Amino acid sequence: MSTPERLIESTRELLWERGYVGTSPKAVLERAGAGQGSMYHHFKGKPDLALAAIRRTAEEMRTTAEGVLGGPGTPYERIEAYLLRERDVLRGCPVGRLTMDPEVVADDALRAPVDETLGWLRARLAGIVEEGKERGEFAPSVNGEEIAAAVVATVQGGYVLARASGSPAAFDAGVRGLLALLAPRDR
């Protein structure tokens, strides 16, 4: 792997583990096995490197989600598959995590990929819910965008509960609760 690649990958790992504020160039360099000069040759500085890392992580998250949401099954089944998909729960979401970083939220360039990814996910889920309404799987009274927001929020908040308790159980409980409420009745 090339040096810029290693720098980006190391940054992605550290951003996930420690966030933007908690990630120092020094730590990135050590993990990547590179020297100071390399980093400042390929990137303008910490924000520039972080931006490259965040963009890649955001794209990866979209790809993973689409793999499940675009799969087979009824709308409910695809949402269920998304919620039940295997996750490293205690590590949390590498994208959502960044919203707790004041320097990411304050910087439009850094926040943009985060916003776009979660926005895309919400819109994608909203469309699936609307599809489910047309098929009679969901009640006509439900609002696709609201359900989509609740689904994404349950996942993001599930990570919070899991990390607080040190166990994935709370994440699973929240997902099961939401799925129970969402399940098509009378079948």
Partner DNA sequence: GTCTATACGAAGATAGAC
Partner DNA sequence: GTCTATCTTCGTATAGAC
Site string (142-171) toward a second copy, x via CB under 8 A: xx-xxxxxxxxxxxxxxxxx-xxxx---xx
Site string (109-138) toward a second copy, x via CB under 8 A: --x--xx--xx--x----------------
- What is the residue whose two structure tokens read 């794209």? 59
| Residue 74 interacting entry, from a second copy, DNA, none, C-beta within 5 to 8 Å by type | none
Taking the complex as a whole, the smallest distance from the CB of residue 42 to a second copy amounts, in Å, to 26
Span from 34-42, 49-57, 72-80, 102-110 in contact with a second copy (CB under 8 A) = 102-110
SS3 state at 80? helix
SS3 state at 169? helix
**Which one among 1, 37, 140, 187 touches DNA, defined by CB under 7 A?**
37
Q: Considering only CA atoms, which of 91, 69, 86 is closest in space to residue 151?
A: 69
Q: What gap in Å lies between CA 182 and CA 184, rounded to an integer?
A: 6
Residue 36 tokens, joined: 């100071």
In 10 A of CB 48, how many CB atoms? 14
Which positions lie near DNA, rule CB under 7 A?
2-4, 23-27, 34-38, 40-42, 45-47
